[in-house]
A = this chain, B = another copy of it.
Amino acid sequence: MPKSTPAYDSLEATWSRLYRLSHLQSIANWDQAANMPPKGNEARAAALAEVAAIIHETTTAPALRATLGSAAQESLSDTQRANLREMEREWRAANALPRALVERRQMATSRCEYAWRRQRPANDWAGFLPHLKEVVTVAREEAQRLADQSGVSRYEALMDRYEPGLRRERVDRIFGEIRAWLPGLVARARERQSFERVIEPAGPFPLERQRLLCEQAMRLLGFDFEGGRLDVSAHPFCGGVPEDVRMTTRFLEADFLPSLMGTIHETGHARYEQNLPREHLGQPLACARSMALHESQSLSFEMQLGGHPGFVNRLAPLVQQVFGSQPALDPQNLHRLLTRVKPGPIRVDADEVSYPAHIILRYEIECPLIEGEIEAEDLPALWDAKMQELLGLDTRGDYANGPMQDVHWPEGLFGYFPCYSLGAIYAAQWFAAMRRERPDLDQRIGAGQLGPVFDWLREKIWSQGSRWTTDELTLRASGEALNPAHYKAHLEARYLS
């Protein structure tokens, strides 16, 4: 006989309701990016605000505190217990911030982002600064309230939203290690590559052909088109809902690699979503574990597979079939194109090796900024110094491609950046674990057999949802705690051997 758990059951019903409402948010957000004509914007914003208000009202209903308390006393299964833990986490986050602060944040970030869209192209740091300062003020207040509740530092409280349980000590240690070997690795990789001959592909590459290639790559990577689709938006993302994943990309006629590699990246996110535990969909338990783990999936696809010579062997014939044969599209040259190390000022254009330098720089700036150790005025000087130090680049005076390059700060998304590089580190750790279990993994990939990769990720990561904490999941999946040595070994193997 099943145990009676009335409080827990009522929580499940509440979260199912929240899930259905967030479905409408996700689809409306995707539509806004992929379809909506300009005059629809105001009404859409009002509609999204309305549903956000209902969600906020539901998660801050006073009765919920008592129900969560009662459920904790009920006789729950392990699964229910894990689900309750995630509910409590969401409940704490929703209840930590007063409505007025949430609205101030919304105002400040909307204004700042709007200003940024015009000021970035004009390289107008002086005009941007007051907007950014207002966002920082609100973010600090938000961080302080979250920190008061959970007993961590301000910046940790913000990171916690994206990667629950992540602390500065760990990020400091890992990024500190990487910082020590990265500039040397970049230099050595560049030196080796200076002897390689790389042929640039000759375009144009018609957009409809690029779309075809992207869809073929998605099929190769196991994307389920019965439960999702690919569209175009200015900023590629993976949205929608697990039952109906909406990926987007964008096409440049002059170069097919950005759309192809962007699509491969988003397909990693998409497969995570498409393979979350179906039986629990609608409950927090069935959500993706964290943003670092999400990035570990996109980077498993884009970096671990995308730069793998065996995978590129499989990809090259698809590319040639779509665009016709040319020397630049031979597997070896394509692989060189995909693994070329060339530091530049822009994070989103960075190669696999110099990428972590951008993230370390962001972390070393936004962490003290939120903790109150520096001010927004200090950003350009710090930025320039760290770019010089980490990548040997002179960025002075170029604010547009400096501290104004990303939308994260205008949007107040402090604490997110570390997830990108943690994701790359986790991805390397997953592939190291796969190789231990299957010593023939690289031959299999080289033979076009991606099944073992997908099976491993499905069993160890995707199907686990949020059942475990990130640390528990890491241990269960790979047999050890987060270990950046695999990441270093991966980069050395690919770029120095």
Name A residues whose Cβ lies closer than 8 Å to a Cβ of B: 17, 20-21, 23-24, 27-28, 31, 35-40, 42-44, 46-47, 49-51, 54, 224-229, 240-241, 243-244, 281
CB distance from A4 to the nearest CB of B (A): 26
Give the nearest-CB partner of A40 in chain B: B244
Question: Nearest-CB distance from A26 to chain B (Å)?
Answer: 9
Report the separation of the CA atoms of residues A228 and B41 in the bound assembly, to the nearest whole angstrom.
11
Residues in B neighbouring A228, C-beta threshold 8 A: 37, 40
- Do B229 and A43 have beta carbons less than 8 Å apart? no
Most chain-B Cβ atoms within 10 A of its Cβ — which of A50, A51, A225?
Answer: A50
CB closest chain-B residue, reference A208: B208
State A227–B43 Cα separation when bound (angstroms): 11
- Closest B residue to A43 using CB positions: B243
B contact residues around A24 at 8 Å (CB):
24, 28, 47, 50-51
Complex Cα gap A21–B178 (Å): 49
Which B residues are in CB contact (< 8 Å) with A47? 20-21, 23-24, 27
CB <8 Å contact, A227 and B39: yes
Please tell me which one of the listed residues B31, B38, B51 contacts residue A31 in the complex, with CB atoms under 8 A apart.
B31
Copies in the complex: 2
Instruction: Give bound CA distance, A40 to B20, whole Å.
Output: 12
Minimum C-beta distance from A438 to chain B (A): 30
Partner of A226, one of B23, B39, B226, B281: B39
Given contacts A27-B27, A28-B27, A31-B31, A244 and B20 within 8 Å (CB-CB): no
Residues on the B chain within 8 Å of A37, using CB: 225-229, 244
- A382 to chain B minimum Cβ distance, whole angstroms, is 42
User: What is the chain B residue whose CB lies nearest that of A17?
Assistant: B50
Residue pair B31, A27 in contact (C-beta under 8 Å): yes
What are 22 A-B contacts with C-beta separation under 8 Å? A20-B46, A20-B49, A20-B50, A21-B50, A21-B51, A23-B43, A23-B44, A23-B47, A24-B24, A24-B28, A24-B47, A27-B27, A28-B28, A36-B244, A37-B228, A37-B229, A38-B227, A39-B224, A39-B243, A39-B244, A43-B281, A44-B244
| Contact partners of A21 in chain B: CB under 8 A | 47, 50-51
Verify A243–B42 contact, CB threshold 8 A: yes
Residues of B close to A50: CB separation below 8 A: 17, 20-21, 24
Contacts of A43 in B (CB 8 A): 20, 23, 241, 243-244, 281
